[in-house]
Amino acid sequence: MNLGTAIKELRKSKGLSQIQLAKKASLSQTALSQIEKGRRPGIQTLKKISTALEVPESLIYAMSIEKDDVPAHKQMLYEKLFPVIKGLVIQIATD
């Protein structure tokens, strides 16, 4: 699970820079950068980021699922479904 990658993709889909999102979330740009590079955010920090992105935390979690998070016997299903799920999440986030 990579929350940082999901946050980065959602941020970019909304046309926000790291500085803009950090400011909206009351975080430093350095802290946001570290999260996007893989540092796991705390619950309160994730809540601030999801509020700033105007998406439920659950959508960030949904976008953060990686192939290795899925049991080996279901990874083919993941490969088929995840691009659709990701597209839907981005559409929800940007509408």
Residues 34-48 pLDDT 10s: 999 999 999 999 999
Which amino acid type is present at position 48? K
| Calpha distance 37→59 (Å, rounded) | 19
pLDDT band at residue 65 using 50, 70 and 90 as cut-offs: very high
Greater model confidence, 73 or 1:
73
Buried b (16+ CB within 10 A) or exposed e, 74-91: eeeebeeebeeeeeebbe
pLDDT band at residue 1 using 50, 70 and 90 as cut-offs: confident
Give 33's Cβ-side CA count (13 Å radius): 5
- Is residue 57 over pLDDT 90? yes
pTM of the predicted structure, to 2 decimals: 0.90
